[in-house]
Structure formats: structure tokens, C-alpha cells
Amino acid sequence: EDNSEGLMRALESHKNALKIHEENVRAVESDASAWGNGGGVTHAAEVVEVRMTDQLLVLDSMLDACQSEQERSRVSRVISDLKLLAKRLLQAKLSAVDL
């Protein structure tokens, strides 16, 4: 197996994790709008935030290991999707905090 095949298999795993993050972000958004202020919402958001940050660090390493523009494009797309989810998560977290 060459590096490219391994990278693409790992990327599929990251896409699956992205789906789980999507579900978790949706749950935090729902809780934030239902409960408004709440430490539970903030804590749940922070747990998801840590997992997403860990995944972003791995994806960044994968990006460095890419050997073709096609690989870089695929990894970059997943990174972009993850960052969009992170923005949604931050908005939900901020909506649950007293300002």
C-alpha cells in the first residue's frame, strides 16, 4: 500500500468523525436554544471543541504529508468543513453564556 492509499483511508475515517461532530454540534445548538443560559451547554460545547481541535491537528499533519494537489484538495475540504462546524459550535456556546 502506498502513502496515498493510506492517506485516503484515513481521510474517510475523518469524514465519518465529521458526521459525528455534526450531530454533536446540532445537539449543542438545540440545547443552547432550548435552555439558553447554562453551564451544561458550555461544558458540552467544550467537550466537542476539544475533539474537533484534536482532529484538526491530525488533519493538518495529513495536509503536510500530501504528495499531490488532489490529496491536498481533499484534505483541505475536510479541514474547511471542520472549521465551519467549529464556527457553529462557537456561536452556540456564546449564545449560552451571559454577556
Domains of the chain, by residue range, sit at: 3-95
> What digits encode the pLDDT tens for the residues 75-99?
999 999 999 999 999 998 888 775 4
- Report, at the CATH architecture level, how domain 3-95 is classified: Up-down Bundle (1.20)
For residues 88 and 60, give the distance between their C-alpha atoms in angstroms, rounded to a whole number: 20
Report pLDDT for 36: 66
- The predicted pLDDT at position 98 comes to 58
- The three cell numbers of residue 78 are 475536510
**Residue 37 pLDDT:** 63
CB burial of residue 34 (10 Å; 0-12, 13-18, 19+): exposed
Give the residues of the chain that fall short of pLDDT 50: 99
User: What are 71's three cell numbers?
Assistant: 490529496
